[in-house]
Chain A
Amino acid sequence: MTSQPLGLNQALTPATAEHRKAFETKAFEILSQKFEAAMDPRDRWSLTAIVPGSRLRECVHFLRDDPAMRLDLLLDITAVDYLGYPGHDAARYAVVYNLRSQRFAAHRLRLKVWVEEEDPQVPSIHDFFEIANWQERETWDQYGIDFSGHPDLRRLLNHIEFTGHPLRKDYPVRKRQWLSTNDPLILPLEARLEANGFVVLEHVAVNSPSVEETDLLGKSAVEKINYVEKAK
């Protein structure tokens, strides 16, 4: 097994089951020593390390930058709602971080953070990975997990008048919600302009009648054809 991380333009040695096992053993040893990690028995095939939320940021930072780990590709952030899961004895939600390495082919691991129902909060890692921004937004949108420190936690897939978090197990699958008018997106655009060094002197003129009838947070407006009443 190569011990040195490879450059991005060098081909990797293909991963084998032995490499993966060796990595998982070593990784778990280090994580349990440094970050109070525990093995997740629910993952019977590979390594899922459960870390407390308070140690998450250091752990992710370490895994990304340590030369022996170099898990620099954040594949996915998602949450699992265990409400009703047979034999479940821990917190209701878990946020799962799926990491892989672009320097070592065999380095793959998942991190898991338990999140309580009463206070669903996890620290954000958007400054370590650019893609974490959108992945955390999606997790918030679908599950309602708050990522503290996230610069712009708003809905990603569902529309702005949507209330509730649809992937939670107690959200009825057929509960439909109408949208009366689209998000004008003016506030996020101004935020980006400001991040790029511009100063907004005069805000954008809204010409569309439907937008005039809406406040910028997208509260329900009545359009010419009022199809809001069709919501079942």
Chain B
Amino acid sequence: MPSIFEKAEPYLFLTPALAILLIFLIFPLFWNTYISLHDVSLTTILRGWEYIGGTNFINLFNDPNFYTSLKVTLMFVGGSVALQFGIGMLMSVLLHQQVRASGVLRAIFIIPWTISAVIAAFSFKFIFDYNFGILNYLLNEIGLQSVGWLSDPSIVIWSLVIANVWYGTPFTILFLTAGLLSINPTIYEAAVIDGATKIRSFIYITLPLLKPFIVINLILITMWSVNFFDIQLIMTGGGPLFASTTASLYMYRQAFEFGLLSKGASAGIVLIAINISIAFIYHKLFRR
């Protein structure tokens, strides 16, 4: 008969983690939910919080800039995830092909992820600058016209995607390399004997075995891209014409630049909902 102590054991193990998460994550979540149902801004936060129910959300969905930001988010996240995953997978596979000094090479490829996001964003802000940036300088040197990387509304979001891909791909490389290393090489030998080409063995052997890694990786990098806003804030501040304002940046600006804390909180809650749906979609997609 399990004693009370034994029954309580698992909960004891969980207590430290749950305590920290409760205090530092759940309390803020409740706070945000609470203020999203009230009218809280810089000018009213110390004076009185009026209950307004879902008005914040209604205002949010009536704001054309919010819809634009959702569209931009789709482009930013879609582009980032596709490229991070594609390039990450490619690099992991390449380095797995009995390449010399693969350990050192892997370490080098991880470096971008070891910098803080703010520093990376700042560096790319200068690389892409129209007048001072090295990219346009090189383009001019070979006779091409300067490109408005950050000033052309139609391409600015892709410049941000490039920065995000440079910054975030190392994580995918790390993750997928771990996956590749978990596959027993003897499986391939059997396949080669059976006459399989490299590409076929990749598609039919490697990919299925990598599935758990791929799924977790995709979920993580998708959510991180959705929540990310340092790059947008520092590189363009959201312009021009909101072409680089993702939903995360929209939320930040509402709360901190305009002082509309409850509107920001409601945008934040919408973001959380988006994240949860994404996780759900991935789950369904890969549940086979």
Q: Do the two shown chains form a genuine complex with each other?
A: no
Chain A positions near chain B (C-beta within 8 angstroms): none
Chain B positions near chain A (C-beta within 8 angstroms): none
